[in-house]
Homo-oligomer: A and B are copies of this chain.
Amino acid sequence: MSAPFFQMSLIVQKYGGTSVGNPERIRNVARRIVETQDQGHGVVAVVSAMSGVTDSLIKLAREVSPHPEEREMDVLLATGEQTTMALTAMAINAMGRKAVSLTGAQAGIVTDGVHTRAKIADLTPKQLKHHLDEGCICIVAGFQGETKDKRITTLGRGGSDLTAIAVAAAVKADLCQIYTDVDGVYTCDPRVVPTAKKIAVISFDEMLEMASSGSKVMQSRSVEFAKKFGVTFEVRSSFNNNPGTIVKEETKSMEAVVVRGVSIEKNQAKVTVRAVPDKPGVAARVFTAVADAGIIIDMIVQNVAHDGTTDISFTLNKDELPKVETTLGPVAKEIGAKAVEIQGDIGKISIIGVGMRSHSGVAAKMFEALSKAGINIVMISTSEIKTAVIVDEAKLTAGANVVHEAFGLGR
């Protein structure tokens, strides 16, 4: 194949499980893809398994084995995306266009060998490019790849987003669109803060902080991958034609907005190890034990010591609590701490924005807003572009609303 006479723009689209949830929706997706081609673009579409299919497959697996081998689980789950990709290609063919489907392996997605949560190691889109050069629309199975020694792997949660971004990087796409069942990224969860607005543009770092602070639109690792390879992408809905949220490299003008969004996280708990002797190695002892037990923690706070002891506090998801109690009891005794205290029913409110770097008084404004509303702050943690506070879970909604209002995000 010779190179096309002029270089078309190339768009990678990703359609999630609800967007392809039944044959009618698959035909809608096909129509959207065809429209994109009609606008003069080359198109690669990455598709997930139809919603519900992955769960049915997992159920089948449990019926033949209490603990299915992960290698075989990947072989089984990979059929979900393979089904969608074939159906999507058929639906496009039925509209008179040429489409071909490719499995992760066929699309050149090479992963490491960690079954059920593999990492993409390499992507050589030879077949993809060949079919694009022929003028074909390419439908690629999301969520899956193949090891160098030809084992089928899956990429774990959010894997199809990762596939789309990796493919976009490999084919040097002009744009990557992540079609999902939400309209984009909002200044806060609209179910909590009714005045929340859709964000038009957000930087990779802000999106990462939003993701890690409770905004569930995308998994962090897909955003990290996009940041690493400089892939600009748009999060938008497959059920309407509204523009979504563009996620891209930070630009100077982005700093004009001090706070991009407010993120909230429910179901948190706080653990405090009381009256720990203030000497080197003690904190390390506590957090090594926590890490060894596989407990995922979030914020850590240690205050200055008085009377030769200090308190060490950290927060985590409530689901992690049972592991904490069995792990920290012996450690507390060993280091001579007074007690391990646990406080449930707390939540986290975070404000995020690259503008914080160049604006002062942002944290103070947040604290003031909460204080005026009579909301007590239990813990504070800050990073370069984020300020997070822990409050009573009962005050989470009120707190998110006053903070959102204080920074004018609803306007």
Residue contact B87 to A61, C-beta cutoff 8 Å: yes
Residue contact A68 to B83, C-beta cutoff 8 Å: no
Residue contact B71 to A79, C-beta cutoff 8 Å: no
- From B66, B69, B86, B106, A89 is in contact (CB under 8 Å) with B69
- From B64, B87, B152, A87 is in contact (CB under 8 Å) with B64
The CA of A93 and the CA of B61, in the complex, are separated in Å by 12
The CA of A361 and the CA of B60, in the complex, are separated in Å by 58
Chain B min CB distance to A220 (Å): 29
Chain B min CB distance to A104 (Å): 13
The CA of A27 and the CA of B89, in the complex, are separated in Å by 35
The CA of A26 and the CA of B60, in the complex, are separated in Å by 11
The CA of A152 and the CA of B152, in the complex, are separated in Å by 15
Q: Report the count of interface residues on A (CB-CB < 8 A).
A: 40
Residue contact B106 to A93, C-beta cutoff 8 Å: no
> What 13 new A-B contacts, CB under 8 Å, besides A64-B87, A72-B87?
A24-B63, A61-B86, A61-B90, A69-B89, A69-B93, A71-B100, A72-B86, A73-B90, A75-B89, A75-B101, A79-B86, A106-B150, A127-B150
Residue contact A57 to B30, C-beta cutoff 8 Å: no
Of residues 51 through 89 on chain A, the ones whose CB sits less than 8 Å from some CB of chain B are 57, 60-61, 63-69, 71-73, 75-76, 78-79, 82-83, 85-89
7 tightest Cβ-Cβ pairs between the two chains A and B: A23-B63, A65-B94, A76-B86, A79-B79, A75-B86, A64-B91, A65-B90
The CA of A76 and the CA of B91, in the complex, are separated in Å by 13
Is chain A's binding surface mostly helix, strand, loop or mixed? helix
The CA of A101 and the CA of B74, in the complex, are separated in Å by 11
Residue contact B106 to A90, C-beta cutoff 8 Å: no
The CA of A23 and the CA of B65, in the complex, are separated in Å by 10
Central interface residue in A61, A75, A89, A100, by most chain B CB within 10 Å: A75
The CA of A66 and the CA of B27, in the complex, are separated in Å by 12
Central interface residue in A66, A86, A87, by most chain B CB within 10 Å: A86
The CA of A341 and the CA of B100, in the complex, are separated in Å by 48
Residue contact A79 to B83, C-beta cutoff 8 Å: yes
Copies in the complex: 2
A66 to chain B: which residues have CB within 8 Å?
94
- From B87, B106, B127, A76 is in contact (CB under 8 Å) with B87
Residue contact B79 to A93, C-beta cutoff 8 Å: no
Chain B min CB distance to A57 (Å): 7
Chain B min CB distance to A54 (Å): 12
A82 to chain B: which residues have CB within 8 Å?
75-76, 78-79, 82
Residue of B nearest to A130 (CB): B149
The CA of A103 and the CA of B152, in the complex, are separated in Å by 10
A89 to chain B: which residues have CB within 8 Å?
69, 72, 75
The CA of A65 and the CA of B57, in the complex, are separated in Å by 25
Q: 8 A-B pairs, CB-CB below 8 angstroms?
A: A64-B87, A65-B91, A67-B94, A68-B90, A69-B89, A75-B85, A75-B86, A78-B82
Knowing A93-B68, A94-B65, the reply to whether A60 touches B23 (Cβ < 8 A) is yes
The CA of A103 and the CA of B76, in the complex, are separated in Å by 11
A79 to chain B: which residues have CB within 8 Å?
79, 82-83, 86
Of residues 134 through 153 on chain A, the ones whose CB sits less than 8 Å from some CB of chain B are 150, 152
Residue of B nearest to A85 (CB): B75
Central interface residue in A68, A69, A90, by most chain B CB within 10 Å: A90
A24 to chain B: which residues have CB within 8 Å?
63
A101 to chain B: which residues have CB within 8 Å?
72, 75
Central interface residue in A63, A82, A83, by most chain B CB within 10 Å: A83
Central interface residue in A23, A65, A89, by most chain B CB within 10 Å: A65
